Amino acid sequence: MLWLAIHFPALSLEIFPSSSGPIAVAEKGIVSCNEKASILGIRPGMTISAAHALSSGLIVKFRDRNAESETLAGLAAWAGRFTPSVSIQASGLLLEIGSCIRLHGGLTNLLSMARRDLHEMGYGFILSCAPAPHSAWLLAISGNETFVMEKEEIEKAIGKLPVELLSQPSKIVEGLEMIGAKRLEDCIKLPRSALARRFGKSLIDEIDRALGKIPDPRKYFIPASIFERRLPLPASVMEAESLLFALKRVLPELSGHLALLQSGVQEIELHCIHEDEKDTLLKAGFSAPTRSHEKMLLLFREILHGASLPSPVREIRIRADKILPLASGNIDLFDDEDNEESLLIERLRIRLGKDAVFGLSEIQDHRPEKAWQTCDSGCDAKGKPGRPFWLLKKPFRCRKGNLALLKGPERIESGWWDGKDVSRDYYVARDENGSRFWVFCDRSDGEWYVQGIFS
Partner 1 sequence: MKSYAELHALSNFTFLRGASYPEELVIQAKSLGYSALAITDECSLAGIVRAHVCAKEQGIKLIVGSEIAFSEGIRIVFLAKNRTGYGHLSALITKGRRNAKKGNYRLSIDEIKEGLPGCIALLLSNPLPSLEIAKKAASAFPGDAWLSVELLRCGENLSEMAEFGRKSALPLAASSDVHMHVPERRALQDTLAAIRQGVPVSEAKTHPNGERHLRPVKDLCSLYPEALLEETMEIAQRCHFSLDELRYEYPEELVPKDETPISHLRKLAMEGLMLRFPSGIPEKVRNLVEHELELVKELHYESYFLTVHDIVRFARERNILCQGRGSAANSAICYALRITEVNPAHMEMLFERFISKERNEPPDIDVDFEHERREEVIQYIYGKYGRDRAALAASVITYKPKSAIRDVGKALGFDQEQLERLVKSLSWRELNESGFNPEKISLLMKLVDEIIGFPRHLSQHVGGFVISRGKLSNLVPIENAAMPERTVIQWDKDDLDAIGLLKVDILALGMLSAIRRALDLSGRQMHEIPQEDPEVYEMMGNADTTGVFQIESRAQMAMLPTMQPKCFYDLVIEVAIVRPGPIQGGMVHPYLRRRQGLEPVSYPSEEVKSVLERTLGVPIFQEQVMKLAVVAAGFTPGEADQVRRSMAAWKRKGGLEKFEQRLMEGMLERGYDEAFARQIFRQILGFGEYGFPESHAASFALLVYVSAWLKCHEPAAFACALLNSQPMGFYAPDQIIQDARRHHVEVLPVDVNQSEWECTLPSPSSIRLGLRMVKGFSMEGMARLASARSLQPFESLDHLASRAGLEKRDLLCLARAGALSGISGHRRKAYWDVAGTAKEMPLAPNPVDDVQPDLLPLTEGENLVEDYGSLGFTLGSHPLSLLRNQLRKRKLVQATELDHCPDGRIVRAAGLVINRQRPGTASGVTFLTLEDETGQINVVVWKDIAEKQRRELLSSRLLAVYGKLQRNGKVLHLIAGRLNDLTPLLGNLVTRSRDFR
Which residues of the shown chain bind partner 1 in the complex (CB under 8 A)? 40-41, 43, 46, 48-50, 52-62, 175, 178-180, 190-191, 193-194, 197-199, 363-366, 384-386, 409-414, 416-419, 423, 425
What is the rounded CA–CA span in Å between residue 67 and residue 72? 9
**Which of residues 38 and 266 has its CB atom nearest to partner 1 in the complex?**
38
Closest distance to partner 1 from the beta carbon of 82 (Å): 36
Closest distance to partner 1 from the beta carbon of 62 (Å): 6
Closest distance to partner 1 from the beta carbon of 64 (Å): 11
| Beta carbons within 10 angstroms of residue 109's beta carbon | 11
**Which of residues 160 and 198 has its CB atom nearest to partner 1 in the complex?**
198
Task: Judge contact between 212 and 137, C-beta under 8 A.
Answer: no
Closest distance to partner 1 from the beta carbon of 213 (Å): 20
Element (H, E) at 343: helix 337-355
3-state secondary structure of 341: helix
**Which of residues 130 and 422 has its CB atom nearest to partner 1 in the complex?**
422
The contacts of residue 270 (CB under 8 Å, 6+ apart) are 247, 281, 282, 283, 284, 300, 303, 316, 317, 318
Closest distance to partner 1 from the beta carbon of 132 (Å): 26
* CB < 8 Å & 24+ apart, contacts of 279-283: 279/358, 280/307, 280/309, 280/310, 280/313, 281/351, 281/352, 281/355, 282/307, 282/348, 283/344, 283/347, 283/348, 283/351
**Which of residues 329 and 446 has its CB atom nearest to partner 1 in the complex?**
446
Closest distance to partner 1 from the beta carbon of 279 (Å): 19
**Which of residues 180 and 434 has its CB atom nearest to partner 1 in the complex?**
180
- Sheet architecture: strand order including 126-130: 86-88, 92-96, 3-7, 126-130
**Which of residues 237 and 258 has its CB atom nearest to partner 1 in the complex?**
237
What is the rounded CA–CA span in Å between residue 292 and residue 319? 16
3-state secondary structure of 188: helix
Closest distance to partner 1 from the beta carbon of 234 (Å): 12
Closest distance to partner 1 from the beta carbon of 409 (Å): 6
Task: Judge contact between 8 and 124, C-beta under 8 A.
Answer: yes
Task: Judge contact between 87 and 93, C-beta under 8 A.
Answer: yes
**Which of residues 154 and 181 has its CB atom nearest to partner 1 in the complex?**
181
**Which of residues 160 and 354 has its CB atom nearest to partner 1 in the complex?**
160
Closest distance to partner 1 from the beta carbon of 417 (Å): 5
Is residue 409 reached through a cis peptide bond, with omega within 30 degrees of 0 on the bond before it? yes
Closest distance to partner 1 from the beta carbon of 202 (Å): 13
Q: What is the residue type of 212? A: G
What is the rounded CA–CA span in Å between residue 249 and residue 297? 11
- Inter-axis angle of helices 240-260 and 107-121, to 10 degrees? 140
Any idea how long the chain is?
455
**Which of residues 57 and 359 has its CB atom nearest to partner 1 in the complex?**
57
Bridge-based pairing of strands 323-325 and 390-398 is unpaired
* Sign of the CA dihedral with 324 first, then 328, 332, and 334 last: negative
**Which of residues 84 and 234 has its CB atom nearest to partner 1 in the complex?**
234
